[in-house]
Structure 1
Amino acid sequence: MPMKPENLVIIMSDEHNPKIMGCSGHPIVQTPHIDKLAATGTRFSSAYTASPVCIPARAAFACGKYIHQIGFWDNADAYDGSVPSWHHVLRSTGHDVVSIGKLHFKSPHEDHGFTEEQIPMHIIEGKGDLMGLIRQDLPRRGGARKMASMAGAGESTYTIYDRDICARAQIWLREQGQRSREKPWVLFVSFVAPHFPLTAPPEHFYRYWNRDLPMPKLYEEELRSQHPYLNDYRNSFCYDDYFETPADVKRALAGYFGLVSFLDEQIGKILGVLQETGLAANTRVMYTSDHGDNLGTRGLWGKSTMYDETAAVPLILSGPDVPVGRVIDTPVSHVDCFPTIMRCVGETLPDDLLDLPGVNLAEIISGQKPDRPVLSEYHGMGSTVGAFAVRNGPYKYVYYAHPDYPSQLFDLQRDPEELEDLGQNPDYAPILAQCHEQLCTLCDPDAVDALAKQRQAELLARNGGREAVIARGDLGFTPAPGCAADFL
């Protein structure tokens, strides 16, 4: 599919479960602007993050490589500009590349490749979530109580931050977007919603609070999977311990749904400016999120698992030369965004980056690229073992780097809600073996697990060891720029 060089707006949200959009079939949540973006472009219905947690996911999106290739393993090991990003490459070839909003990189004093960073959110103290460096005898997270206690109607520091991001994006488009340049520009607009705290502006919260919201699937205790990886996560990130009644759960759901609609409102304002200024005629828009959210399914909240609620992401591309109203079911990955961004603005990959694992999404749309396995991996907080998910065709295979943590297998074509784990079904042993072989073509999972833990042990020692890190406390979520940290 040929693509004429055009401007590009990339909109990234945080923790947006791809099932929670009107265009993906959600029966309740209203996302008219995201839906319109999908209707006027192409939506990738099987898109995956490189890692279901903020900092590694954003590093992989920037660098176009899987986590084991770049080594930014967890929420205490943030991108520092040391690995070439698409921002670096485009700036070096004469493009304006501007960032507004959350980056979650290591420090504002580093060169991340942007020509300008407006109101960036980076990790706290340049250190981030040190507690996630502990990978054995996991500590119980004090910040987990914030998930339930802060759910409701109102404004949080995050919604205030997002409003500022949206305002600045509109100003940039009106004052800088129409300025004559030799090469197309890229504007990266990165929101925090719908990341918790689940405090949603009242006009959005009450849209859902008064609805008969269904409880999350497999929420009842007797229905929850007792896989040891999930139990590790539940016992450390003990979010659900603070939900005492179904009304508490539904308040959290209304908060999340309200934040999704709030996010949609901000996206609508940006799309409106593109239309009003005439920029829509020569500007493409990419929408995605860093990862998803379990949202109470299986008694889990937050991210960090390999279910599609968290490892899958929304991914939409719209604008000039992009097919209208298409839905692509072929599995794709955030690593595919690097080469896609390059082609959107008329550049090719430099010789030293020709080995990137991703492919141009335009080639997926046009059927030029055959299906290939895509990978999501996790080495962070709330886990004692590395987790690796491979998606190829209808199957998702999840491998855990420990002999006592059984592999999982899901047939997403027959079982899109991942209700039946086929990993221990002898009839699927050949498929399980084939999937493991595909994983091993991408990485050596056990060696990668050891490498991640070695790096984490070094960082833990550098920060005073286990007891010092636990004494520092748990944030729950990174404070918005200018806001004080609230450790528990």
Structure 2
Amino acid sequence: MATNVLVIQADQFRADCLGIAGNPDVRTPHLDRLAGDGVHYRDAYAPFPVCTPSRYSLLSGLHVRQHGGWTNHCTLAPGIPTFPRALREAGYRTAAVGKMHFTPTYLDVGYDEMALAEQHGPGRYDDDYHRELAAAGLAPVTDLLDQDHELRVRAPQSYWDSYGTGRSNLPEQWHSSTWIGERARRALADWSDDGSHLLHVSFIKPHHPFDPPAGWDDRYDPTELTPLPGWTDTIPAADQRHRREYFDFEPLDLPRLRRVMAHYYATITHLDHEVGRMLDLLRERGLYDDTLIFFTADHGEYLGFHHLLLKDGPMYDPLVKVPLLVKFPGRQRAGETSDQLVSLIDLAPTVLSTCGVTPAAPLPGKDLTDPAAGHDCVFAEDRRRGVAGMARTDAYKLLWSDVAGEALFDLGADPHELTNVADDPAHGDTLRRMREAAARWALHDATPPTYLDPDAPRRPSVTGGGADRREQFADAVAEHLDGSCTPAAHPPMNTVLPSGH
């Protein structure tokens, strides 16, 4: 019998914000149970710490320099194989639910069916979730104020003071995490007993704004939360240029950080609850044991690391490291923890190998069905502000940028990446080896330009009415502001969305 595949993806999920990862405060019982049935990879990395490029890498098994999807507004070029397309061609029934962040919104990357809930850009005015919200007379005001820069300039002072955290204006049943979880369960309920199903479930959360619904927003007492490793009382000198990325982080102090953490953790616990309901359905149907299941994210979150929040800045570990849990069919390797260096590009070869499908061309990633699989060095890149890259081994990290220069970190002595030893002669041989490894990787493929085709083939969807929904939501935001709060007269922080959002 063929193997079913369930890929569960979060957005902006810091890798150590799981109970199984040793976090002292966050509650993730269902994800912890999933880890107990499979393998927890403690050193998994995103190849690009931005939504769309990272997602295209997960689907294709390629680095961004190979697939050319450099921004959040780009298209996976025709002819680039994906594991959903390969499984569909092998007879699988394939579906996607949640946030995909494609251009066009319903881009055909191999899914027969798509029920989408997007967050930023035109996708939110094309998708199923916002269409249903509009039909119900609802608008995601909290999210719109954070994500739509034309509306964000009208955000109240409380938004800036709280760093965009607080209770969602939507009731729980209409919150994106609940909607995505419910749609995912519908898809799982349609799975037949003979296998050959792929479902990709992608949550918007815990991406900012950190806005859990009522009933979840008070799950954590901020005063009881412990700042995560890497918090500093001030922004280090090397990171001062990032102090106004989306918000001004200079005023961030421990009370404010703990309030942010409380809402971030609450969105995670809400997400964990929805994941648990999905997995319980598979268990009830007798499909859980023999399903290949992944849980991961497209990138991480600073959450106080170096006095920063969100995701705009250097590729420090909290940003570029992602959670990765893999439950193999038959619960092989149950309860195992792996310290192998792995990457999101490893998911595609692992899926194809497990399902007995040969990739259309050799892939650079590793097949994680092999317990020894891993990389000596993992790589990432970022092209939002010039050309930047990362090479990371188990002991060292090299960062380079045509804007910020070069930094080498001895992770054994400096796990929080505070001391640049690139100019230290004692690390000269290491610096040379890391540079050589990065050069070999960077020169492996010709770097394609960003590919964008808004008219690329797409899956059938209910479209139209996007302009009307945008106007309806803008009116709802205006009514909310007029009725409950006053916009800040002079927003004290950056009011223009950086390109990574």
Q: Normalised by the size of structure 2, how large is the TM-score?
A: 0.77
SS in 1 for 2:347: helix
Residue 7 of structure 2 aligns with which residue? 10
Tell me if 1:307 matches 2:316. Answer: yes
Q: Give the 3 Å change call, closer, same or farther, for CA 156–64 of structure 1 in structure 2.
A: farther
Runs of 4+ in 1 over 6 A off after TM superposition: 485-488
Q: 2:24–2:226: 8 Å Cα contact kept in structure 1?
A: no
Q: 1:101–1:189: 8 Å Cα contact kept in structure 2?
A: yes
Residue 437 of structure 1 aligns with which residue? 436
CA deviation after TM superposition for structure 1 residue 37, in Å:
0.9
Residue 167 of structure 1 aligns with which residue? 182
Q: 1:49–1:312: 8 Å Cα contact kept in structure 2?
A: yes
Q: How far apart, CA to CA, are the structure 1 residues paired with 2:400 and 2:445? A: 10
CA deviation after TM superposition for structure 1 residue 110, in Å:
3.2
Tell me if 1:150 matches 2:164. Answer: yes
Residue 359 of structure 1 aligns with which residue? 366
CA deviation after TM superposition for structure 1 residue 91, in Å:
1.0
Q: How far apart, CA to CA, are the structure 1 residues paired with 2:199 and 2:14? A: 23
Q: 1:81–1:112: 8 Å Cα contact kept in structure 2?
A: no
Residue 382 of structure 2 aligns with which residue? 378
Q: 1:91–1:113: 8 Å Cα contact kept in structure 2?
A: yes
Q: How far apart, CA to CA, are the structure 2 residues paired with 1:375 and 1:69? A: 13
Q: How far apart, CA to CA, are the structure 2 residues paired with 1:196 and 1:206? A: 17
CA deviation after TM superposition for structure 1 residue 266, in Å:
1.0
CA deviation after TM superposition for structure 1 residue 325, in Å:
1.1
CA deviation after TM superposition for structure 1 residue 255, in Å:
0.8
- The amino acid across from 1:434 in the alignment is R
Q: Give the 3 Å change call, closer, same or farther, for CA 320–150 of structure 1 in structure 2.
A: same
Give per-residue Cα distances to partners, 1:203-260, cap 9 Å, x unaligned. Answer: 4332323542244644322xx3322xx444333433425x565433221111111111
Q: How far apart, CA to CA, are the structure 2 residues paired with 1:69 and 1:41? A: 30
Q: Normalised by the size of structure 1, how large is the TM-score?
A: 0.79
Q: How far apart, CA to CA, are the structure 2 residues paired with 1:17 and 1:201? A: 21
Residue 232 of structure 2 aligns with which residue? 219
Q: How far apart, CA to CA, are the structure 2 residues paired with 1:172 and 1:36? A: 22
Q: How far apart, CA to CA, are the structure 2 residues paired with 1:192 and 1:424? A: 41
Q: How far apart, CA to CA, are the structure 2 residues paired with 1:77 and 1:428? A: 39
Q: Give the 3 Å change call, closer, same or farther, for CA 210–419 of structure 1 in structure 2.
A: same
CA deviation after TM superposition for structure 1 residue 118, in Å:
1.1
Tell me if 1:190 matches 2:205. Answer: no
Q: 2:119–2:204: 8 Å Cα contact kept in structure 1?
A: no
CA deviation after TM superposition for structure 1 residue 415, in Å:
3.7
Q: Give the 3 Å change call, closer, same or farther, for CA 123–206 of structure 1 in structure 2.
A: closer
Q: Percent identity?
A: 27
Q: 2:398–2:434: 8 Å Cα contact kept in structure 1?
A: yes
Q: Give the 3 Å change call, closer, same or farther, for CA 284–239 of structure 1 in structure 2.
A: farther
Residue 347 of structure 1 aligns with which residue? 357
Computed over aligned residues only, the root mean square deviation of the Cα atoms, in angstroms, reads 3.2
Q: 2:171–2:213: 8 Å Cα contact kept in structure 1?
A: no
- The amino acid across from 1:260 in the alignment is I
Q: 1:50–1:333: 8 Å Cα contact kept in structure 2?
A: yes
SS in 2 for 1:428: helix
More helix by share: 1
CA deviation after TM superposition for structure 1 residue 360, in Å:
0.6
CA deviation after TM superposition for structure 1 residue 196, in Å:
0.8
Q: 1:80–1:105: 8 Å Cα contact kept in structure 2?
A: no
Residue 237 of structure 1 aligns with which residue? 246
Q: Give the 3 Å change call, closer, same or farther, for CA 205–419 of structure 1 in structure 2.
A: farther
- The amino acid across from 1:375 in the alignment is F
- The amino acid across from 1:219 in the alignment is T
Q: Give the 3 Å change call, closer, same or farther, for CA 143–392 of structure 1 in structure 2.
A: farther
Give per-residue Cα distances to partners, 1:399-421, cap 9 Å, x unaligned. Answer: 2135xx33222233444333433
Q: Give the 3 Å change call, closer, same or farther, for CA 119–142 of structure 1 in structure 2.
A: same
Q: How far apart, CA to CA, are the structure 1 residues paired with 2:243 and 2:51? A: 19
Q: 1:169–1:270: 8 Å Cα contact kept in structure 2?
A: yes
Following superposition of structure 1 onto structure 2, how do residues 298-337 of structure 1 map, counting pairs within 5 Å? 298-304=306-312, 305-321=314-330, 322-337=332-347
Count residues with an aligned counterpart: 429
CA deviation after TM superposition for structure 1 residue 483, in Å:
5.7
Which of 19, 23, 26 is the equivalent residue of 1:22?
A: 19
Q: How far apart, CA to CA, are the structure 1 residues paired with 2:299 and 2:375? A: 22
Residue 407 of structure 2 aligns with which residue? 408
Q: How far apart, CA to CA, are the structure 2 residues paired with 1:157 and 1:239? A: 30
Q: How far apart, CA to CA, are the structure 2 residues paired with 1:156 and 1:295? A: 24
Gapped runs of 5+ residues in structure 1? 129-140, 460-478
- The amino acid across from 1:264 in the alignment is D
Residue 208 of structure 1 aligns with which residue? 220
Give per-residue Cα distances to partners, 1:8-62, cap 9 Å, x unaligned. Answer: 1110000000011111111111111111111111011100001111111111111
Q: Give the 3 Å change call, closer, same or farther, for CA 231–245 of structure 1 in structure 2.
A: closer
Tell me if 1:273 matches 2:281. Answer: yes
Q: 1:239–1:301: 8 Å Cα contact kept in structure 2?
A: no
Q: How far apart, CA to CA, are the structure 2 residues paired with 1:110 and 1:201? A: 30
Q: 1:185–1:345: 8 Å Cα contact kept in structure 2?
A: no
CA deviation after TM superposition for structure 1 residue 64, in Å:
1.0
Tell me if 1:105 matches 2:102. Answer: yes
Residue 49 of structure 1 aligns with which residue? 46
Q: Give the 3 Å change call, closer, same or farther, for CA 429–298 of structure 1 in structure 2.
A: same
Q: Which deviates the most, 244-253 or 277-286?
A: 244-253
Q: 1:152–1:254: 8 Å Cα contact kept in structure 2?
A: no
SS in 2 for 1:108: coil
Q: Give the 3 Å change call, closer, same or farther, for CA 45–265 of structure 1 in structure 2.
A: same
Q: Give the 3 Å change call, closer, same or farther, for CA 72–484 of structure 1 in structure 2.
A: farther
Q: How far apart, CA to CA, are the structure 1 residues paired with 2:36 and 2:309? A: 30
Q: 2:101–2:123: 8 Å Cα contact kept in structure 1?
A: no
Q: How far apart, CA to CA, are the structure 1 residues paired with 2:83 and 2:117? A: 18
